[in-house]
Structure 1
Amino acid sequence: MSHRVLVVEEEEKLARFMELELKYEGYDVTVARDGLKGFTLAQEFPPDLIIVDGNLPGLSGLDLCRRLREMGSRIPIILITAKDDVEERVMGLDAGADDYIVKPFNANEFFARLRVQLRRTHTETDEILQFADLRFNRSTREIQRGDRLIDLTAKEFELLDYLLSHARQVLTREQILERVWGYDFTGDSNIIEVYIRYLRLKLEAAGEPRLIQTVRGVGYVLRD
């Protein structure tokens, strides 16, 4: 399943930018335009990570952090600050933020900080992914469908991991290529189709129902 991210940002352009970038990378995104709404959403639909602007109407980002921590919430929080000021950063961290980023910020840095926080909250249960009759263990690299063990190459494993992490979500060829093979890949343009075929052959070797579905003109989706 994809990670759920709550963005609490008043500035429309910045909120839209983060929403689009996060969705493109496969995250499930909810946006709140003020602190009170963000606080309510964080309680009713707890996300995996919160990105909050320090300067918000209704309830400031700092107060949002404090309230959540007072309630015992351990959701990782990244605070957006308007200036690289030591005192402001210290206030944010003391309020309960796990990290901060100064705007305007680079998208690569933004995602790097986000990944760090998600890794820190990565639990043992996240190591095992289950979909239909498919069981995928990241730690032991064991893949099992029903009672049958499946042997995958490193790249097949990485591709299946990405599909499982975004189960039931349509992934474009561009998303798959960038995530699994990298932005600078210059090899065979049919590489994705080749590896999808490899996976299907191994996952369906005993006549099991197809899990990896083709979405014509778009990409692929893991669907039961």
Structure 2
Amino acid sequence: MSARILVVDDQPNLVDLLRTVLEFHGFAVSAAGTAAAAVETAARERPDLILLDVMLPDGDGMDVCRRLRTAGSEAAVVFLTARDARADEIAGLAYGGDDWITKPFDMDVLLARVRAVLRRTRTTTTNLLRYDDVELDPDTLEVRRAGTVVPLSPTELRLLRYFLENPHRVLSRAQIYRAVWEFELGASSNVVDTYVGYLRRKLDPLGPPLLVTHRGFGYALRRTPS
């Protein structure tokens, strides 16, 4: 299962670097460049962890953290900041942060701290299968996208679950058919394409397309840059 991370920083180059590194290591990443966008995106996408710059163009990252906690957000918060005063770090943790990383930082250290915070903070809701803003609860079989319940048939549920268990991987039609229908794919069968189409018609109206076609091979669950 892929943990979802929201990167909040007004430096586009740093955001792009963090997105590239985190996605390479299997995380689902979204980004915001302002305090207002951070609050709105966190409420909509419910990330597992937020990498939060302290100094934002329209406000203070600590205040963003306070607002999220007041609204009931349980996302872990790791502050990223050039401030290195001990008093600032203590204040950030008091506002509801879970860790504090001073810029500039080593990317391997950041990855280790992110994983450590996720191990400490992820709760029993981690049985949810998630990618981007899509969630599937294996216990209740409820699917949501951007907080909206999406009714799926049993076959559509199995297909979505297979994609959620294999984010970013390019899956051949034969692989998908064996996993979902538990038979070998016939040479002329288009059942995989048909059911991917069904999923797209139900998921795409609620957000950016996530099922990417690899012509002549199969599909991947991956958010493409807008």
Common topology (TM > 0.5): yes
Contact 1:26 1:166 in 2 (8 A): no
Alignment of structure 1 residues 111-130 onto 2, 5 Å: 111-124=111-124, 126=126
Which digits, 9 at most, give the CA deviation of each residue in 1:115-174, with x for residues without a partner? Answer: 112112333454697xxxxx9xxxxxxxxxxxxxxxxxxxxxxxxxxx9875242179xx
Give 3-state SS (helix, strand or coil) of 1:88's partner: helix
The verdict on how the C-alpha distance between 1:166 and 1:210 changes in structure 2, with shifts beyond 3 A counting, is: farther
TM-score, normalising length from structure 2?
0.59
Which digits, 9 at most, give the CA deviation of each residue in 1:171-197, with x for residues without a partner? Answer: 79xxxxxxxxxxxxxxxxxxxxxxxxx
Alignment of structure 1 residues 73-112 onto 2, 5 Å: 73-112=73-112
Equivalent residue letter for 1:208: E
| Counterpart residue number, 1:169 | 168
The verdict on how the C-alpha distance between 1:169 and 1:102 changes in structure 2, with shifts beyond 3 A counting, is: same
Q: Kindly state the Cα deviation for residue 22 of structure 1 after the two structures are TM-superposed.
A: 0.9
Return 5+ residue gaps in structure 2 as ranges: 130-137, 139-161, 186-213, 222-226
Give 3-state SS (helix, strand or coil) of 2:73's partner: coil
In the alignment, the residues of structure 2 paired with residue 113 and residue 171 of structure 1 have an alpha-carbon distance, to the nearest angstrom, of: 29
Q: CA RMSD in A?
A: 3.5
Contact 1:3 1:48 in 2 (8 A): yes
TM-score, normalising length from structure 1?
0.59
| Counterpart residue number, 1:37 | 37
Which digits, 9 at most, give the CA deviation of each residue in 1:70-90, with x for residues without a partner? Answer: 122221000011032101101
The alignment of Structure 1 onto Structure 2 pairs a total of residues equal to 158
Equivalent residue letter for 1:169: H
In the alignment, the residues of structure 2 paired with residue 60 and residue 118 of structure 1 have an alpha-carbon distance, to the nearest angstrom, of: 24
1:50 aligns to 2:50 (yes or no): yes
In the alignment, the residues of structure 2 paired with residue 21 and residue 4 of structure 1 have an alpha-carbon distance, to the nearest angstrom, of: 14
Equivalent residue letter for 2:114: L
Alignment of structure 1 residues 1-224 onto 2, 5 Å: 1-124=1-124, 126=126, 166-170=165-169, 208-209=182-183
In the alignment, the residues of structure 1 paired with residue 52 and residue 119 of structure 2 have an alpha-carbon distance, to the nearest angstrom, of: 19
In the alignment, the residues of structure 2 paired with residue 49 and residue 125 of structure 1 have an alpha-carbon distance, to the nearest angstrom, of: 14
In the alignment, the residues of structure 1 paired with residue 43 and residue 25 of structure 2 have an alpha-carbon distance, to the nearest angstrom, of: 25
The verdict on how the C-alpha distance between 1:68 and 1:107 changes in structure 2, with shifts beyond 3 A counting, is: same
The verdict on how the C-alpha distance between 1:24 and 1:84 changes in structure 2, with shifts beyond 3 A counting, is: same
Deviation >6 Å, runs of 4+: none
Return 5+ residue gaps in structure 1 as ranges: 130-134, 136-162, 173-199
